[in-house]
Structure 1
Amino acid sequence: MKKNKNLKNHLTIVILIVTLKITGPIYAQDKIIPLWITPIPNAINNAEYTEKEVLKDGIVTSVSHVSVPTLSIFTPHETKSNGTAILIFPGGGYSHLSIDKEGTKVAKWLNTLGITAFVIKYRLPSDLIMKDKTIGPLQDAQEAMRFIRKNASQWDLDSTKIGIIGFSAGGHLASTLSTHYNDIVYKTDYSISARPSFSILIYPVISMTKEVVHKGSQTNLLGTNPSLELINKFSNEKTVTSDTPTAFLVHATDDTVVPSENSINYYLALKKNKIPAELHLYEKGGHGFGLGVKDTSQFWTRDCLEWLKANGYL
């Protein structure tokens, strides 16, 4: 009964949002719901901090200054749902979200596989709206995973088959959720685990160490002069344990923005802890290739599909 009440509250707010037309352009998803029905944790009210969108041909391609996180829900229509769900974390260096290329388009591809997809528009770390910006994105990630799992029956999902996919800095957030899902970063009455069933990490930022760090992501999340303790905490190759979810990783060797060592080091940490993992290093592709547009990296979706099959998620 409580589960239905919570979902009803979400849907009520959705109706109000659509009625008041405050969501901006609508994509092809089934619905957009606010992530938090309780007060957003760790938040600082700042009326001058307003969300900004970049549009191209009438499509929202990028979002920044996010202070009210949402979930966009995409359910398979042409293909029968297979019970698997994936929560999508778009990248953007923790400064913006590449919401179309690494969000909406990915969700539509997953729908063709029978997978229910959720695109999270998560809060980007900012001292202007957060008491502690280092945990803001993780708070949203944990809540999104708990909400999907808690309400799995509403979409005919198998609660043991709810995974995540993250691109670039979204890959850092995905790997942070994979290794910090038990961190207590906000109060919740949920007894539901925030642990992903599996992770798919595409040209991810993993480490905050100076040797391989994407400096923009580090500065935006941890500040200009982070302590060694903070750097180590959010260098996720250092926080892998035997309970970390299995992973499928993709990187291009010629990525000059986020070095491929990020994926390599995370893979080695998984291997050391005897966690099943698959790593694909492509010769060419650079950074930010999304679903793949050219060079050898364009085939990663085919490899990912086979991995999902082999692990029983399709």
Structure 2
Amino acid sequence: MTRRGEMMFRKFLLALMAPLFAALAVAQTSEMTRVPAQIDAGAIPLYDGQAPGSDGSDIKEIWTNAGTERWVRNVTQPTLLPVLPDEGTATGAAVIVIPGGGFQFVSIDNEGYPIAEWLAGQGVAAFVLKYRVMETPAPEDDFSVHMQRMFSPTPETEPIDVSTGIPLAVADAQAALKIVEARSAEWGIDTGRIGLLGFSAGAITSLGVVLDDSDAPHPDFIGYIYGPMTAVDVPADAPPMFAALAANDSLFGNQGFGLVESWMGAGGSAELHVYESGGHGFGSYKRGVTADGWFDQFMRWMNAQGLLETAEPE
């Protein structure tokens, strides 16, 4: 990201980082337990050797059960997991799925694996991005204290600058785009129909990729699921955006819709769905609330955009 793009993005972040971690208080120490890491045989490393910008320290990846889902912490070796549709149903479209987690963990179960399976079931080549996150204390009890410090800081504790985790996530999303584009023929993908679908911190990451004014790859469309709604300076070539948010979202439900307004004001295409209920982090959960329908509406939007038209890959 160029300096101008980084400054613009950081200005945007200042408006949203204060409330960002309030929703992470859902996990109690007694609920969090260490579980074995899932080994995805088909996962593709994003980089050869050490990831650029990493310090090379010997940090171990941790998988923690938070009660209803697993969180992947201390990721230093990012990967991309292909979840491909059956050949007979493949549309040629592709989506890189970017889970949330406040840049402290990757919400792999709620906003990763199931979302990719849903997409593949609709003929869309899906790719789960396990991106680099900020280091957190290894013991689950200490991790819980760390999270408390983030969303309930005291004058005696030094604040944690969570924005430092964003550039690595954005770089990993850009690397993922490069891989999908480079192997598009192998996977039967149309290089003009490769998008990002981000949740919360993943939505922030997706937006960062769009706002980057360097020559790094950009998506052809984005799904922006319960991300912040603060207005930004939108580039003239911004891709079509599908945005979804619950009105009772504890983080971003009362921000207005400046992001969508600025998107459309710049001449971009945007569709916004605001659900009466669903809270923050509805993802793949089915809880009998109106937000349960977001995925079906996302697929209808993709179809209306001409993204699901079966065609020979370029």
TM-score (norm 2): 0.72
Structure 1 residues without counterparts, runs of 5 or longer: 1-22, 185-192, 208-236
Q: How does 1:244-255 map to 2 (within 5 A)?
A: 244-255=238-249
**CA deviation after TM superposition for structure 1 residue 265, in Å:** 1.6
* Count of aligned pairs: 246
**CA deviation after TM superposition for structure 1 residue 60, in Å:** 7.1
Task: State the partner residue of 2:226.
Answer: 203
Indicate how the Cα distance of structure 1 residues 71 and 51 shifts in structure 2: closer, same or farther if over 3 A, else same.
same
Question: Is the 2:74–2:136 contact (alpha carbons within 8 Å) kept by the matching residues of 1?
Answer: no
Note if 1:142 corresponds to 2:147.
no
Question: Is the 2:50–2:77 contact (alpha carbons within 8 Å) kept by the matching residues of 1?
Answer: no
Letter in 1 for 2:83: F
Question: Is the 2:51–2:76 contact (alpha carbons within 8 Å) kept by the matching residues of 1?
Answer: no
Structure 1 vs Structure 2 CA RMSD: 2.5
Q: 1:144-180 deviations in whole A, cap 9, x for unaligned?
A: 1111112111101000000010001111101111221
Task: State the partner residue of 2:156.
Answer: none
Indicate how the Cα distance of structure 1 residues 133 and 26 shifts in structure 2: closer, same or farther if over 3 A, else same.
closer
Write the distance in 2 (CA, Å) between the matches of 1:309 and 1:195: 21
1:261 is paired with a residue of what secondary structure? coil
Q: How does 1:110-129 map to 2 (within 5 A)?
A: 110-125=119-134
Write the distance in 1 (CA, Å) between the matches of 2:97 and 2:130: 9
Task: State the partner residue of 1:25.
Answer: 38
Task: State the partner residue of 1:42.
Answer: 53
1:275 is paired with a residue of what secondary structure? coil
Write the distance in 2 (CA, Å) between the matches of 1:84 and 1:78: 12
Q: How does 1:52-63 map to 2 (within 5 A)?
A: 52-55=62-65, 61-63=70-72
Q: Identity of paired residues, percent?
A: 30
Runs of 4+ in 1 over 3 A off after TM superposition: 125-128
Write the distance in 2 (CA, Å) between the matches of 1:72 and 1:65: 18
Question: Is the 1:171–1:206 contact (alpha carbons within 8 Å) kept by the matching residues of 2?
Answer: no
Write the distance in 2 (CA, Å) between the matches of 1:51 and 1:60: 16
Note if 1:313 corresponds to 2:307.
yes
The higher-RCO structure (CA 8 Å, 6+ apart) is 2
Write the distance in 1 (CA, Å) between the matches of 2:307 and 2:166: 32
Question: Is the 1:83–1:161 contact (alpha carbons within 8 Å) kept by the matching residues of 2?
Answer: yes
Write the distance in 2 (CA, Å) between the matches of 1:151 and 1:78: 16
Write the distance in 1 (CA, Å) between the matches of 2:69 and 2:264: 39
Question: Is the 1:67–1:123 contact (alpha carbons within 8 Å) kept by the matching residues of 2?
Answer: yes
